[in-house]
Amino acid sequence: MNKFTHRKAVVSGLMIFVFVIYILQLFNLQVLDGSYKLLAINNSQRIETQFPARGLIYDRHNKLLVYNQAAYDLMVIPRQIKAFDTTELTSILGITPEFLKRNLDKCKKYSRYKASVLVSQITDSKYARLQEKLYKYSGFFIQTRTLRKYNVAHSADVFGYVGEVSQSQIDKDSTYTAGDYIGINGLEKSYENILRGKKGEKILLVDNHNRVMGSYKNGEHDIPAVVGGNLTTTLDIELQEYAYQLMQNKKGGIIAIEPATGEILLKVSSPGYDPQLLVGLERGENYRTLQQNPHLPLFDRTVTATYPPGSIFKTIQGLIGLQEKVITPATMYECHYGNSFNGQFMKCHGHDSPLDLKGGIQNSCNPYFVNVFRKVLENNKYSNVREAYGKWRDYVLEFGLGQCICPDFMNESSGSIPTQEYYDKVLRTQNWFYTYIMSLSIGQGELLITPLQMANIVTCIANRGYYITPHIVRPTDEKHKEQIQRHNLSISKAHFDIIADAMEEAVKKGTARIAACDSISVCGKTGTIQNPSGLDHSAFFAFAPKENPRIAILVYVENGKWGASYGAPIAGLLIEKYLKGKISPRKKGLEKRMLESNLITPQPPEKQQPQESEI
């Protein structure tokens, strides 16, 4: 035995001491400190969002209107970037180094650990080249997305467009993350919840070079994407196409409604634009161009624009007069190129005198309806004109005026039927006299109505006293179905029959003869709206056939001069096309004239802006 045997304990003790420290450190790393588990997941798992394809959009005959095409986004996780060949990347993608740097900085600012879009919507050919080289770029990967593709080059106002979600929208709805697409306008916006589908998640395992090594636990925790729901619109796309052709080089809106169902057959806002312009990388540029166009193609002239309705409003005036029993169909009024009302003169045009109600509508006599309005306002049932106006206004609102009536459009204006309080302020008295507001009787003055609402008026007449909530998308669920309701008017059916007869007369031998179609009884009413800033607007609404009407249509053409010059012929052609499928040879000449007429270019360059109501 040697004298240093006791040192065995020292040596062993030292060794045990070190090993105990190691076990403690292991305990710290593996049990106490949870951060390494997260770091390991960050290292080896990449969560790939699975973007669902947006729902498709069809027309009423199940023709595909809007679908999707594949697009590729270059994604980046800034933390994983290693030095890379910027020149090669920029040349493959066809972008400038500045653009790359700017976007990269943006991505880094968003998050160093989360993936964000570096370059979006890469084309197929660039994608193919990039895919080959991608292994060299640590931290970069490709994400497949879908972009909208359209089968038609018009109706952008119906479809709206899709764009990247904004920060404020992300804050509101946590299902969105930066770079997601969201409907910005039209049906894409109002039916976003149905169209967007549900995003899925795929957990991938990646190696240190960010190469995909397979799915995590065989995809057990993956969430598949749910494809967006499809929409079937009530549009007749062929008719829509034809309407756009007729409205070429004209500004205005057309709305056609199937009276029995409230389905919108036609929604034309002219000038329109190709919806494809607002897809892809050029969207921003195209949007700016559209925005700067003096004819405002982005402005929806069917539901956002509000106009005075003009003479088509006389139908409502007649109905209220009859319902209030202040006139009968036989009530006659004199008119000789106009008439004087307590010192104010109301102009008119040449026609027989005196006229009864039918004659008044057929010839669109202004003084006749001033007289009717006066009778309504000075009715002894009410204590004063102001109260009578309130009653009158209630009738008017029943037609769907002064309110948003279609749940499908987020950009719908309510229009404006002035309130009593409004006139109290303007007239500075509650003691009104009918002449103050008599221009309302012929649809001028402070009335502001959207083309959709005008179409709804004629729908009410076509239905002889009710309308169904106008809609452009066939309801998909119960909640949606409940939104579509029947609205009954308090004016009796008999009165509507009288007005319908008068409108038939107007087409047969009155102001709207040009709208007549062979063998179809069209009931219509023209309107010419005074326009202080240019040529008068042309309006026409009609329904056909007279019994069991299948279409109620409104055509509003800005600067169209007379109701009969553009509104009526275009409406006539559309009715014939819809009911008969073709245009009779007799009307070919008219059709040609409508297709070729140009109300835009010969105009002086000054802006012709329709009035927008904010009241």
Partner 1 sequence: MRRQNELIKNIDWLSIFLYLVLVFMGWLNIYAAVYNDNHSSILDITQKYGKQLIWIGASGILCFFILLTDSKFFTAFSFILYGLTIGLLVSVLVFGKEVHGARSWFELGGIRIQPAEFAKFATALAIANIMSRHGFKMMRFTSLFQVGIILLIPMSLIILQNDTGSALVYSSFLLVMYREGLHGSILLLVFIIVALFIFTLLYSSLTVLIIIIFSTLIAFLYYRQNKQELYQVVGFLGCCILFLLFIRWLFVWNILNERIVLYSYLATNLVGIYYIYKRKMQHILLVILASWLCIGASITVDYAFDKLQPHQKDRINNLLGIKNDPTGAGYNVNQSKIAIGSGGFSGKGFLQGTQTKFNFVPEQSTDFIFCTVGEEWGFVGSTVVILLFLAFILRLITLAERQRSDFSRIYGYSVACILFFHVIINIGMTIGLAPVIGIPLPFFSYGGSSLWAFTILIFIFLRLDANRLQVFS
Q: Which residues bind partner 1 (CB under 8 A)?
A: 2-5, 7-8, 10-12, 14-16, 18-19, 21-23, 25-27, 29-31, 33, 35-37, 39-41, 43-45, 205-209, 213
Sign of the dihedral defined by the CA atoms of residues 565, 568, 573, 576, in that order: negative
Smallest separation, CB 221 to partner 1 (Å): 14
List of residues 6+ apart from 340 with CB closer than 8 A: 346
Min CB(70)–partner 1 separation in Å = 29
Residues 6+ apart with CB under 8 A from 168: none
Closer by beta carbon to partner 1, 208 or else 342: 208
Residue 476 is which amino acid? Answer: T
If the CB atoms of residues 7 and 481 are measured against partner 1, the closer one turns out to be: 7
Strand locations in 495-536 (E): 523-529
Pairing between β-strand 523-529 and β-strand 64-76 as defined by DSSP bridges: unpaired
Cβ neighbours, 10 Å, residue 380: 7
Q: Which is nearer to partner 1, 35 or 519 (CB)?
A: 35
Closer to partner 1 by CB, 205 or 498: give it.
205
Q: Provide the 10 A C-beta neighbour count for residue 133.
A: 14
Lookup: tokens for 594: 């409508």
Return the number of the residue (8 or 582) whose C-beta is nearest partner 1. 8
* Residue closer to partner 1 (CB basis): 29 or 494: 29
| Shortest CB 612 distance to partner 1, Å | 57
Q: Compute the distance between CA of residue 299 and CA of residue 269 in angstroms, rounded to an integer.
A: 8
What count of other Cβ atoms lies within 10 Å of the Cβ of residue 400?
26
Say which DSSP state 78 is in: G
The span from the CA of 368 to the CA of 334, in Å, is 7
Q: Give the nearest distance from C-beta 6 to partner 1 in angstroms.
A: 10
Q: Which helix (H) or strand (E) holds 568?
A: helix 568-580
Closest separation in Å from C-beta 222 to partner 1: 16
Which is closer to partner 1, CB of 217 or CB of 493? 217
Token pair listed for 505:
């007369």
> How many whole angstroms from its chain centre is CA 297?
13
Q: Compare residues 10 and 494 and give the one whose CB is closer to partner 1.
A: 10
How far apart are the two ends of the chain, measured CA to CA in Å?
111
Q: Which is closer to partner 1, CB of 43 or CB of 419? A: 43
Phi and psi at 231, nearest 5°, equal -120, 135
| 427 φ, ψ (degrees, to nearest 5) | -85, -10
For helices 493-509 and 451-462, give the axis angle rounded to 10 degrees.
Answer: 110
Least gap, CB of 115 to partner 1 (angstroms): 18
Least Å from the CB of residue 117 to partner 1: 24
Provide the minimum distance between the beta carbon of 78 and partner 1 in the complex, in angstroms, as a whole number: 12
- Cα gap 107→47, rounded to integer Å: 17
Q: Which is nearer to partner 1, 72 or 137 (CB)?
A: 137
User: How far apart, in Å, are the Cα atoms of 584 and each of 208, 516, 580?
Assistant: 73, 12, 9
Which tokens go with 361? 């509508």
Report in angstroms how near the CB of residue 214 gets to partner 1 at its nearest.
8
Do 358 and 351 touch, CB atoms closer than 8 A? no
Q: How far is the CB of 2 from partner 1 (least distance, A)?
A: 8
Shortest reach from residue 11's CB to partner 1, in Å:
6
Q: 212 Cβ partners below 8 Å, 6+ apart?
A: 46, 204, 205, 206
- Nearer Cβ to partner 1 (37/61): 37
